[in-house]
Structure 1
Amino acid sequence: MTVLVVGASGATGSLLVDQLLIKKNKVKVIVRSPEKLPESWKTNDDLQIITASILELSDAEMSQIVSDCHAVASCLGHNMTLKGVYGKPRRLVTDATRRLCNAIDSNNLQRPTKFVLMNTTGNRNRDLNEPISLAQKCVVGLLRLLLPPHVDNEKAADYLRTQIGQNSNSIEWVAVRPDGLINNEEVTDYEIYPSPTRSAIFNAGKVSRINVGHFMASLINDDNLWARWKGQMPVIYSK
């Protein structure tokens, strides 16, 4: 199976790539600075490194890159610097999601392509009308005003929910929502729920980045797991 990963140089994306390689996938990554990648990646015959900025690729280039991919995974995010939070591109995750989905659609493949988006528990799944407290609504409202990356995460998931939807012949999707991300060197037990079981603002849980990478890789490789969660926004917590 061939999988494209964008955001592969990030803290979670790099762990997703490692998990996909462990599972014997062929992996493509699009990165702006390949010199920062692990040396083991550069010598791995199962890994293709494409040096580019995802939003600067032409439509034709994007279509060619995804043409042989059975799955696309996005771990894109904004750098937590002043420029990264408030500078351009303001809609990095949303625009990349839209362009990748358009590229997949343009190839008219005979099989659906899996699209896995790393999102956040701070974003509600509006298909389920998930209840949150008035206090959390107020905080989320402030985040929308003050933090453009939060709006970007919301709009990226909303694109999958409302524009791709549940009945696309070319794309099936899952938006994975981790709670508070932590570092861990090993995969540990974790739990998956359709919706948050605790407040993402006032009682956040924890999940290791490697567990998120493991779950995303498992979704891509395990058709039964995929059937359980496709078209949904599962929440992941480490046990």
Structure 2
Amino acid sequence: MTTLVVGASGETGRLLVEQLLNRGELVRIIVRSGSNLPEAVRNHPNLSITQASITEMNDTDLTQLVTGCEAVASCLGHTLSLKGIYGQPRRLVTDTARRICSVIQENTSEQPVKYVLMNTTGNKNRDLKEPTSFRHNAVIGLLRLLLPPHVDNEKAANFLRTEIGQNHPAIEWVAVRPDGLIDNPDVSEYDLHPSPIRDPIFNSGQTSRINVAHFMATLINDADSWTRWQGQMPVIYNRS
């Protein structure tokens, strides 16, 4: 299986690349620079690196990268700086999902392509009418006003949920929602739920980035896991 990973130089993205390579998968990545990747990853025979900014790639080059991939994984996020949070592109995650899904639809394959999006527990799955408190909704309302990346995360998941939907002939999707991201060196036991079991603002849990990467890789190369979560927005927590 060949997977395109966007956001591969980020803290979770590079862990996902390692997870996929360790499982024998072929991986294509788009990065501005490969210097953030470990040397063993950069030189791996199953890894193909395109050095570019995905926002500046033309449709022809993006089509070449997507064509032949059975899966696409997005670990894109906004840099934690004033420019990264408030500068352009404000819809990096959403616009990338739209462009890639458009390419997939124009170059249909025999089987639907999997799109795995790294998202957040701060974003509700409106298909399930997830209950939230007044306090929670008030804070989310402020985040929408003050933090463009939060709106980007919401719009990206809503694009998959409402415009790609549950029965698209060319694309299937899962939006993975971690809570309280932390760094751990090794994969540990984790639990998966259709919806949050804690309030992500007032009672957040913890999720290791490496566990997120492990789950995303499992979705990509394990048919049973994909069948279980396809078209959903599973929440992942480290097991207490």
TM bucket normalised to smaller: over 0.9
Q: Equivalent residue for 1:212?
A: 212
Q: Secondary structure at the match of 2:200?
A: coil
C-alpha distance in 2, partners of 1:37/1:208?
19
Q: Secondary structure at the match of 1:136?
A: helix
C-alpha distance in 2, partners of 1:42/1:185?
19
1:41 Cα deviation from its structure 2 partner? 2.1
1:210 Cα deviation from its structure 2 partner? 0.3
Q: Equivalent residue for 1:222?
A: 222
- Cα displacement string for residues 195-229 of structure 1 (whole angstroms, at most 9, x for unaligned residues): 00000000000010000000000000100110000
Matches within 5 A, 1:40-119: 40-119=40-119
Aligned AA for 1:121? T
Matches within 5 A, 1:1-239: 1-239=1-239
TM-score (norm 2): 0.98
C-alpha distance in 2, partners of 1:201/1:99?
31
1:108 Cα deviation from its structure 2 partner? 1.7
C-alpha distance in 2, partners of 1:194/1:152?
21
TM-score (norm 1): 0.99
Over aligned residue pairs, what C-alpha RMSD do you find?
0.7
1:35 Cα deviation from its structure 2 partner? 3.0
Matched length:
239
Q: Secondary structure at the match of 2:172?
A: strand
Gaps of 5+ in 2: none
Aligned AA for 1:25? E
Q: Secondary structure at the match of 1:167?
A: coil
Cα pair 1:63 1:106 within 8 Å, conserved: no
1:34 Cα deviation from its structure 2 partner? 2.0
Gaps of 5+ in 1: none
C-alpha distance in 2, partners of 1:208/1:36?
19
1:36 Cα deviation from its structure 2 partner? 3.1
Cα pair 1:31 1:53 within 8 Å, conserved: yes
Cα pair 1:3 1:73 within 8 Å, conserved: yes
Q: Secondary structure at the match of 2:69?
A: coil
Q: Percent identity?
A: 62
